[in-house]
Amino acid sequence: MTQDMIVEGGQVPSGKVKVSGAKNSATRLLAASLLTDEPVRLRNFPTQLVDVVEKLRFIRELGAQVTLDDDQEWVEVRTPSLSYRNIDDWELPIRTTYLLTAGQIVRNGTARIPYPGGCKIGARGYDLHIMVWKDLGCEVNEAENYIEINGSFTGGSINFPISTVGGTENALLCASVAKGVTEIRNAYVTPEVEDLITMLGQMGAQIENYGNSLIRVRGMDGLMHGASFEVMPDRIEALTWIVFAAMTGGDVFIQGVPFDHMKVPLLHLEEAGLDLYRNSDSVFVSGDSVRQRGIQPFELACGTHPGVISDMQSFYVLLGMKANGISRTFDYRYPERIAYARELAKFSPDAVRYEPGKITTHGIATLRGADVTSTDLRGSMALVLAAFCADGQSHIKDVHMAMRGYNGLLAKLNTLGINATLIQPD
Q: Is 389 a catalytic residue?
A: no
The identity of residue 294, as a single letter, is G
* Beta-strand pair 157-164/181-187: parallel
Please, are residues 11 and 417 in contact by the beta-carbon 8 Å criterion? yes
CA-CA distance, 392 to 374, in Å (whole number)?
Answer: 19
List active site positions: 119
